[in-house]
């Protein structure tokens, strides 16, 4: 029976679903309202229609107009509940003009969202299709969800627990290259402003240059980043990171600038929070002010606050995916951390990240996924669902 299930995974259907989803551009509008060409809702409808065709009971919730979370469920909610969760949105296509024309070549599918993470969504559809057509009755409930806005503020997963069916465990098919990832860092953003005194630039001594103040902070941040790399690492996530990533300041060439602002990115380890990061940034800023009272600043934020994930390796869902991966590939376990943040910590139950494709290609102008990886990922999902929710003989 298990062999039949694994043989039932069809690579042509996987490719067809992925190509169809790449053709629906679901680019995240980031800070702008959704507008023509930003089609998370249309992709959500496509995805939910496929789930309904396979006998799932579907639902949706508009987090903001035009930006839905969609889901399907199968089986009663009395037993164990397992969620397969992905996101509808992708990053943009600047510098990637053919990103929306999916291309199948050398057993790879190319296009925006190919690996992050429409391939993951395609593996969900195929896994449900294989199970539905096998006639297996599940002992628990399977939920498949596709959420809005993972690539920005994660408003989809932050609102999901209030509006969608909850689970006991989750699998997110972000591109891990088939590594089983029970952990990842969080991401916190702060905005720092430095203030100066404007003056004619022919007499700079009469002003205080806010950009020079910011330069002192940036210098200090170099030391801070080194300090992070000397702290005790998390066993899977490694070290926390920090980098100054956006800067704005000054007005015109002939004026000593009286303001400058910096967006500061901090990748946090499990146990670190936006609050603990703020304390560290404040200490740094206060030290600069103590050595020079003309250093005036303001710290605003967090302007971004994404949680880290740290699911125990002995959690049932991690162990089940590991066992299924061994069965399907014959290989020993590969456990690691995803480099970026995901929706998982917002869901509120233990989750593991496991999916086809690599974060090396995600967000680039050369995004692709290997079809072989999609097939393996789907087979692992099928075995995991059967293991977590019921046996083939049941």
Q: Are 175 and 115 in contact (CB under 8 A)?
A: yes
- Which CB atom, from 174 or from 387, has the smaller least distance to Zn ion? 174
Q: Are 114 and 368 in contact (CB under 8 A)?
A: yes
Tell me how far, at minimum, the Cβ of 91 lies from Zn ion, in Å: 9
Residue 297, CB half-sphere, CA atoms under 13 Å: how many? 27
- Which CB atom, from 185 or from 259, has the smaller least distance to Zn ion? 185
Say how many residues make up the chain: 394
- Which CB atom, from 14 or from 208, has the smaller least distance to Zn ion? 14
Count of C-beta atoms within a 10 Å radius of residue 301: 17
Q: Are 71 and 148 in contact (CB under 8 A)?
A: no
Cα Dmax for the chain: 85
- Which CB atom, from 84 or from 136, has the smaller least distance to Zn ion? 84
- Which CB atom, from 60 or from 157, has the smaller least distance to Zn ion? 157
Tokens 């990115």, residue located: 265
Tell me how far, at minimum, the Cβ of 209 lies from Zn ion, in Å: 41
Q: Which residues of 82-119 are buried (b: 16+ CB within 10 A; e: fewer)?
A: bbbbbbbbbbbbeebeebbebeeeeebbbbbbbbbbbb
The candidate with the shortest Cα–Cα distance to 118, out of 216, 14, 1, 192, is 14
Tell me how far, at minimum, the Cβ of 177 lies from Zn ion, in Å: 13
- Which CB atom, from 261 or from 367, has the smaller least distance to Zn ion? 367
- Which CB atom, from 138 or from 353, has the smaller least distance to Zn ion? 353
Tell me how far, at minimum, the Cβ of 14 lies from Zn ion, in Å: 18
Q: Are 22 and 100 in contact (CB under 8 A)?
A: yes
Tell me how far, at minimum, the Cβ of 212 lies from Zn ion, in Å: 39
Q: Are 269 and 216 in contact (CB under 8 A)?
A: no
Tell me how far, at minimum, the Cβ of 236 lies from Zn ion, in Å: 18
Tell me how far, at minimum, the Cβ of 70 lies from Zn ion, in Å: 16
Which residues here bind Zn ion, judged by CB under 5 A? 116-117, 174
Q: Are 175 and 185 in contact (CB under 8 A)?
A: no
Dist. CA 287–CA 347, nearest whole Å: 38
- Which CB atom, from 75 or from 182, has the smaller least distance to Zn ion? 182
Helix ranges (DSSP H) in 135-263: 155-163, 210-230
- Which CB atom, from 15 or from 117, has the smaller least distance to Zn ion? 117
- State the residue number with the nearest CB to Zn ion: 116
From residue 38, give the alpha-carbon distance in Å to each of 86, 99, 109, 133, 217. Answer: 18, 14, 22, 34, 38
Tell me how far, at minimum, the Cβ of 184 lies from Zn ion, in Å: 11
């Amino acid at each position: 029976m298990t062999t039949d299930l694994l043989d039932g995974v069809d690579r042509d259907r996987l490719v067809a679903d992925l190509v169809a989803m790449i053709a629906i551009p679901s680019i995240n509008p980031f800070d702008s309202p959704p507008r023509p060409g930003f089609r998370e809702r249309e992709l959500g409808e496509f995805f939910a229609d496929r789930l309904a065709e396979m006998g799932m009971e579907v639902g949706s919730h508009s987090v903001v107009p035009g930006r839905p979370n969609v889901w399907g469920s199968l089986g009663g909610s009395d037993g164990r509940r397992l969620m397969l969760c992905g996101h509808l949105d992708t990053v943009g296509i600047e510098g990637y003009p053919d990103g929306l024309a999916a291309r199948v070549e050398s057993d790879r599918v190319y296009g925006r969202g190919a690996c992050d993470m429409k391939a993951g969504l395609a593996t969900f559809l195929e896994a449900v299709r294989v199970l539905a057509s096998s006639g297996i009755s599940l002992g628990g409930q399977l939920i498949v969800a596709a959420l809005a806005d993972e690539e920005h503020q994660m408003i989809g997963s932050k609102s999901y627990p209030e509006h969608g069916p909850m689970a006991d465990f989750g699998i997110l098919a972000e591109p891990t290259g088939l590594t089983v990832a029970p952990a990842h860092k969080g991401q916190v953003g702060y905005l720092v402003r430095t203030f100066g005194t404007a003056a004619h630039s022919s007499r700079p001594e009469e002003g205080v240059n806010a950009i020079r103040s910011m330069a002192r902070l940036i210098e200090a941040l170099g030391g801070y980043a080194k300090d992070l790399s000397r702290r005790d690492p998390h066993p899977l996530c490694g070290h926390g990171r920090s980098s100054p990533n956006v800067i704005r300041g000054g007005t015109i060439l002939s004026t000593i600038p009286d303001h400058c602002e910096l967006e500061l990115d901090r990748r946090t380890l499990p146990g670190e929070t936006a609050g603990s990061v703020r304390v560290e940034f404040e200490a740094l800023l206060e030290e600069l002010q103590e050595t020079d009272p003309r250093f005036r600043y303001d710290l605003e934020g967090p302007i971004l606050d994404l949680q880290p994930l740290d699911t125990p390796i002995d959690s049932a869902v991690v162990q089940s995916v590991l066992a299924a991966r061994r069965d399907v590939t014959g290989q020993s376990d590969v456990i690691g951390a995803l480099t970026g943040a995901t929706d998982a910590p917002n869901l509120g139950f233990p989750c593991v990240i496991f999916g086809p494709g690599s974060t090396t290609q995600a967000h680039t102008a050369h995004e692709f996924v290997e079809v072989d990886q999609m097939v393996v990922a789907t087979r692992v999902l099928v075995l995991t669902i059967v293991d977590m929710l019921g046996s083939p003989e049941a």
